[in-house]
Structure 1
Amino acid sequence: MRKFVALFVCLALILWAVCAIAKVTGPCADCHTMHYSQNGKSDNYPAGGPFPSLTIGDCIGCHTGDVPVKGTNDEIPVVLRNSEPTGTGPNMSLAGGDFYWVGTGDDAKGHNVTGISGEDQMGRTPPGWDPTDNAAKAYGVIANGETIWSKQLTCAGTYGCHGYHDEENDYRAIKGAHHGNDDCLKADTLDVSEQGTSTATSYRFLYGIKGIEDKDWEYTAQDGSTDHNQYYGVDGNTNQTAPTISFLCAECHGDFHADIQDGSVWIRHPTDIVLPAKGEYEKYNGGTGSANPYSVLAPVGSDLSTGIRDTINPGSADAIVLCVSCHRAHGSEYDDILRWNYTGECEAGQGDMTKCGCKVCHTEK
């Protein structure tokens, strides 16, 4: 009996120690269940369990809900709504948008993630995929460098965006991340030098990526304020600056913007460039060319050295054009996962920059 008590006490101390260093907040029951049942049945939990790590659902199950954030303390971001959202953007969805529309079968409106939607009609292999550009990395090679992907996109792992790419299983790919110390990613305790060294210290669990995380995933984001994510970006002509948010996109779509020069049959909008400090660009988001208000609709990146920016200066390192300047990461109500209605709100000579992100940068078109 004494051995049992001693063992119980030791176990309790161990669990207490783990909880004491955990960075995730809220009741354990918001995410975990001991037996995947309540009152003898599992109707209260997502289908398919029990799940590893005693979670109440898998990645999708845990991050599906009726509202953009859920949990006792609003600590769980929702990326897949149970009913159609009123749109994407502040007070409607989170920064990455919502998988709802692609989940209903509209391939053009989101990434086709296993468990959310069927395979894209174009196939499993991402457009712009270059298997030769995925040299061995410390955190693994996406899709094992396959020329043609043998499996559909997943949330995390070898065929996913989050966690380690050398581990195919979603759970093992992000193991420990939710309970890791992520202070280095927060504005108040920012330490860029510590970012990207593990899944927990990587921006939104995107291994190796740096950035500054907004506390409510941009649910209440506002223009001209510091209430938003700050994306890491650089001015360059290669995809080798691994910690940037555009590099994350380029890991799968690296050739999508290849050879964008005049005369090419593959002319595309540039990314990873400084927004020019002249002409139409200097008036970004209605500014004058200096201390222009940051736009949540058409965000730009920075080198993170000055924290979260409420203003940006065209022509400088805090005004980097990114992939996510135009696209959302998860899904949106617009084709090509765009952040705005490109075909309905953007017209030359007229239009509202609060509805057409093109006009946030191209102010005189």
Structure 2
Amino acid sequence: MIPAALSGNHVLKPTRSNKVTWTGLFLLYFCLVATVCHAKVEGSCSNCHTMHNSQDGAAMAQGGTGTTLLMDDCVGCHSSATAETIVNGTPIVFNTTVAPANPLAGGNFYWVGRGGAENDVYGHNVWGISEEDANITAAEGAPGNIFGAGCTTSCHKSLVIENVFGKRGCQGCHTEVAHHDDSKPWFRFLKGHINSGAYVLGIEAPDWEQDGGSDPSLRNVYKGVDGPITWGGGTGITAGHSISAFCLGCHAGFHKDMGVTSPWLRHPNNILLPSTGEYGAYDPVDNYSNEAPVAYLNIDAPSRDEAVITCLSCHRAHGSDQPDMLRWDYANMPEGTGCYTCHSTKK
């Protein structure tokens, strides 16, 4: 039985019938109020788990979506039929019926969740939220995917594949799903599936940036590296633990042959944000813009000289109201916004 505090605001949007048997995924963040700075939950175990899958004389539920005796799966706990993005202390990443009032740092699945090819461009397609991307063939997999051979049922190709045990849907990225303690260093439960050292470092905003990061104490601090990302050592995720190295797991083609100096083949990533010229006007430490967040070489002591451009400097992780999950309207950028946050002399 789902507690009354949750049942009115957490709506599980079915995209498959009862064959949907999600692996418990991970409650993504919390099923009850969490401590403001960490990922662990506080309170009774029964707030998230049920002992025998039956309560108050009700019949045993059959074919449900919860495993490990969870009350709900991650999509169910982190969805809302309202426009609110924090409900009973739980961060909401999927507003099912109306657009979110104040999307959190990762954005929101509302737009891609509307379905259809015209909406697939607005976010990651995730099991339990949307169908396969109608604009990309199953053989192509994720944009920038270079791991297609011998990986036909991999989460590296799609997060909507049905039979990838433990790796589909939200758990394709957020692999560590239990919120019992803070013993692991991983930022937002982001970690690879094989190597124990393939995790992301960072500092989480206590309100998940619901206020847009205007308050310095309410910002995510992302880990960055300065140098081309390689698959393994050096600046790879096992050594650098950066957010962009994690994105490389599915979108490695976007990092390949990028170069290290101008002229750039693609927009540079994992380089220091220059402090001179047109870039000198943007100081993300003292004059932060939620439209162009950066990472830092040292997350414990962020400094302007160590600000790093990352994938999240332009994109939302889950989805947004803009194509390609961009943080701004690429066709309509007033002075000082969007691209012009960093490229301050261009208009």
TM-score (norm 1): 0.67
| Alignment CA distance shift 1:148-1:128 (3 Å) | farther
SS at match of 1:179: coil
| Alignment CA distance shift 1:281-1:113 (3 Å) | same
Distance 1:335 1:109 in 2: 5
SS at match of 1:231: strand
The answer on 1:116 being equivalent to 2:124 is: no
The answer on 1:23 being equivalent to 2:40 is: yes
Aligned residue for 1:146?
150
Distance 2:108 2:58 in 1: 30
The answer on 1:99 being equivalent to 2:109 is: yes
Deviation for aligned residue 1:114: 1.1
Letter in 1 for 2:85: P
The answer on 1:127 being equivalent to 2:108 is: no
Distance 1:306 1:328 in 2: 23
Deviation for aligned residue 1:226: 2.8
The answer on 1:201 being equivalent to 2:205 is: no
Deviation for aligned residue 1:84: 2.2
Aligned partners of 1:36 and 1:49 also within 8 Å: no
Unmatched segments (≥5 aa) in structure 1: 1-21, 132-142, 183-199
Aligned residue for 1:276?
274
Letter in 2 for 1:181: D
SS at match of 1:251: helix
| Alignment CA distance shift 1:298-1:27 (3 Å) | farther
Distance 2:47 2:99 in 1: 23
Deviation for aligned residue 1:269: 0.9
The answer on 1:330 being equivalent to 2:311 is: no
Deviation for aligned residue 1:146: 3.4
Letter in 2 for 1:108: V
Aligned residue for 2:249?
251
| Alignment CA distance shift 1:26-1:146 (3 Å) | farther
Aligned residue for 1:84?
98
Range that drifts further, 152-161 or 276-285: 152-161
SS at match of 2:296: coil
Distance 1:358 1:157 in 2: 38
| Alignment CA distance shift 1:119-1:50 (3 Å) | closer
Distance 2:187 2:160 in 1: 18
SS at match of 1:250: helix
Distance 1:229 1:336 in 2: 21
Alignment of 1:1-365 (within 5 A): 23-36=40-53, 49=64, 51-65=66-80, 66=82, 67-71=84-88, 74=89, 76-86=90-100, 92-105=102-115, 106-121=119-134, 122-124=136-138, 125-131=141-147, 146-149=150-153, 152-153=158-159, 157-159=166-168, 162=171, 173-174=175-176, 177-182=178-183, 200-207=184-191, 208-223=199-214, 225-239=216-230, 240-242=235-237, 243-260=241-258, 267-284=265-282, 292-307=286-301, 309=302, 312-313=303-304, 316-317=305-306, 319-343=307-331, 345-346=332-333, 351-353=334-336, 356-365=337-346
Aligned partners of 1:283 and 1:363 also within 8 Å: yes
Distance 2:200 2:65 in 1: 32
Aligned partners of 1:271 and 1:323 also within 8 Å: yes
RMSD: 3.3
Deviation for aligned residue 1:113: 0.5
SS at match of 1:100: coil
Aligned partners of 1:31 and 1:55 also within 8 Å: yes
Aligned partners of 1:154 and 1:161 also within 8 Å: no
Larger Rg: 1
Aligned partners of 2:320 and 2:327 also within 8 Å: yes
Distance 2:166 2:274 in 1: 37
Distance 2:95 2:77 in 1: 11
Aligned residue for 2:13?
none
Higher helix share: 1
Q: How many residue pairs were aligned?
A: 279
